[in-house]
């Protein structure tokens, strides 16, 4: 039957209902601040929001959104190619291009559309794409639609990338290489210096997804490429407004004038209604704040190091380096669900991640840190994990 392939998921959902847990799509009933809310009836610290700089609840961004809705209305009711290009959309494109020090930018309605749209359009039949094996689902969706030959290289392994580029011979010069800045599940950072060196040696074009690194890394918050000092080697930077910028939407920026022609070939751009004026306005204000208030990044990293060190000191298996994404890796699904429920009951909301969303066969309790968290709130998160350890709910494998 048509629905047979969904039975495993239906069974999993039924088992969660029997245990009275709803870790996927947990409903937030009230937002109290950038770091506190009511989720599934529990007043909790929000430690799974990707709200890295706390700007989703910044009064300046809220005011910008409110004023824009009053002036422009609630939505555009059309795509950018029809009636949905407002002056505000063009202003944001100019500003985000300037933020990245390039001349060309496209604003998309979602980050998924930005990444999927660029990955499905830049390369096509007869072309080659080389992508990190742990890439985000939007990248996988895009390259599948592209019709190009797709080659996966080992996660964050420049030597494996170089080996595969060598095998391409002359075709390497026109290949598209795709990597991310910060990988969203474990919080590890791509070795972009080495990846850029491979590109310089063999040719090709480099696209970097800065979704989780924009606003987080780099002297001015431009992301992992800026932090690595390789921005000149990046042909296309894509990202989202739904993390550090606290809104929703996506972008692509590039030094290549051809981006203006590519714009009219991206189906995810052509056939999607443009972002509402309120979203564009709050994003513009967030971008201005990021450029003028580097202390937000400093506080974010203080909190990230605090949480990473605290969880590691408990003996929990966290990611390879400190990052605003701090994931605890577990081997048993049932135990992971029990721990997620216990954290909720202790007043801490985190993300539960199961395969295939996790980058391996492991299960994750994924924490994301915000500049808006106080040091005391980070201590509360650490204490909640200590509590589930003391209760014997978690028996983690040895940290590596």
The pLDDT value given to residue 320: 84
Question: Is there a single domain that holds both residue 264 and residue 336?
Answer: no
Question: Is there a single domain that holds both residue 91 and residue 53?
Answer: no
The pLDDT value given to residue 399: 41
Averages of pLDDT over each 10 residues, the chain, 400 residues: 90 83 85 95 95 97 98 96 95 98 98 98 97 95 97 97 97 97 92 98 98 97 98 98 97 98 97 97 98 97 98 92 93 90 95 76 90 98 95 62
Any domain includes 311: yes
Question: Is there a single domain that holds both residue 48 and residue 136?
Answer: no
The three state secondary structure string of the chain is CCCHHHHHHHHHHHHHHHCCCCCCCCCEEEECCCCEEEECCEEEEECCCCCCCCHHHCHHHHHHHHHHHHHHCCCCCCECCCCCCCHHHHHHHHHHHHHHCCCEEEEECCHHHHHHHHHHHCCCCCCEEEEECCCCHHHHHHHHHHCCEEEEECCCCHHHHHHHHHHHHHHHHHCEEEEECECCCCCCECCHHHHHHHHHHHCCEEEEECCCCCCCCCCCCCCHHHHHCCHHHCCEEEEECCCCCCCCCEEEEECCCCHHHHHHHCHHHHCCECCCHHHHHHHHHHHHHHHHCCHHHHHHHHHHHHHHHHHHHCCCCCCCCCCCEEEEEECCHHHHHHHHHHHHHCCEECEEECCCCCCCCCEEEEEECCCCCCHHHHHHHHHHHHHHHHCCCCCCCCCC
Instruction: State which of 236, 263, 292 marks the end of a domain.
Output: 292
Question: Is there a single domain that holds both residue 117 and residue 237?
Answer: yes
pTM of the model as a whole: 0.94
Question: Is there a single domain that holds both residue 241 and residue 298?
Answer: no
What CATH number is associated with residue 242?
A: 3.40.640.10
Number of domains the chain contains: 2
Any domain includes 243: yes
Domain that holds residue 101: 73-292
The pLDDT value given to residue 361: 62
Question: Is there a single domain that holds both residue 184 and residue 261?
Answer: yes
Question: Is there a single domain that holds both residue 161 and residue 219?
Answer: yes
What CATH number is associated with residue 326?
A: 3.90.1150.10
The pLDDT value given to residue 398: 47
The pLDDT value given to residue 400: 41
The pLDDT value given to residue 166: 97
Question: Is there a single domain that holds both residue 196 and residue 111?
Answer: yes
Instruction: State which of 262, 292, 322 marks the end of a domain.
Output: 292
Any domain includes 397: no
């Amino acid at each position: 039957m048509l629905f047979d392939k969904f039975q495993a998921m239906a069974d999993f959902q039924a088992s969660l209902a029997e245990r009275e847990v709803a870790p996927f799509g947990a409903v937030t009933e009230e937002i109290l601040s950038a770091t506190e809310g009511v989720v599934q009836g529990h007043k909790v610290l929000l430690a799974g929001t990707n709200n890295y700089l706390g700007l989703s609840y910044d009064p300046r961004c809220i005011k910008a959104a409110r004023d824009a809705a009053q002036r422009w209305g609630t939505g555009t009711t059309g795509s950018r190619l029809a009636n949905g290009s407002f002056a505000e959309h063009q202003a944001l494109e100019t500003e985000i291009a300037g933020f990245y020090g390039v001349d060309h930018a496209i604003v998309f309605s979602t980050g998924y559309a930005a990444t999927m749209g660029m990955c499905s359009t830049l390369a096509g039949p007869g072309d080659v794409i080389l992508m990190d094996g742990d890439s985000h689902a939007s990248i996988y969706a895009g390259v599948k639609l592209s019709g190009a030959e797709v080659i996966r290289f080992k996660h964050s392994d420049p030597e494996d990338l170089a080996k595969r580029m060598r095998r391409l011979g002359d075709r390497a010069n026109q290949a598209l290489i795709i990597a991310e800045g910060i990988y969203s599940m474990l919080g590890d950072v791509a070795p972009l210096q080495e990846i850029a060196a491979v590109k310089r040696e063999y040719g090709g074009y480099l696209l970097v997804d800065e979704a989780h690194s924009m606003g987080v890394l780099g002297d001015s918050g431009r992301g992992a490429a800026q932090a690595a000092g390789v921005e000149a080697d990046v042909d296309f930077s894509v990202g989202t407004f739904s993390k550090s910028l606290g809104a929703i939407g996506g972008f692509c920026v590039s030094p290549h004038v051809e981006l203006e022609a590519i714009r009219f070939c991206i189906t995810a751009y052509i056939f999607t209604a443009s972002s509402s004026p309120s979203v564009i306005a709050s994003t513009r204000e967030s971008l201005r704040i990021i450029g003028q208030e580097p202390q937000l990044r400093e506080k974010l990293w203080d909190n990230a190091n605090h949480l990473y060190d605290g969880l590691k000191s408990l003996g929990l298996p966290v990611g390879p380096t400190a990052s605003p994404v701090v994931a605890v890796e577990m081997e048993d699904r049932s135990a992971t669900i029990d721990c997620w429920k216990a954290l909720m009951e202790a007043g801490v909301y985190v993300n539960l991640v199961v395969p295939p969303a996790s980058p391996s066969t492991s299960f994750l309790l994924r924490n994301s840190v915000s500049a808006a968290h106080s040091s005391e709130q980070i201590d509360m998160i650490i204490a909640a994990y200590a509590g589930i350890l003391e209760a014997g709910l978690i028996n983690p494998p040895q940290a590596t």
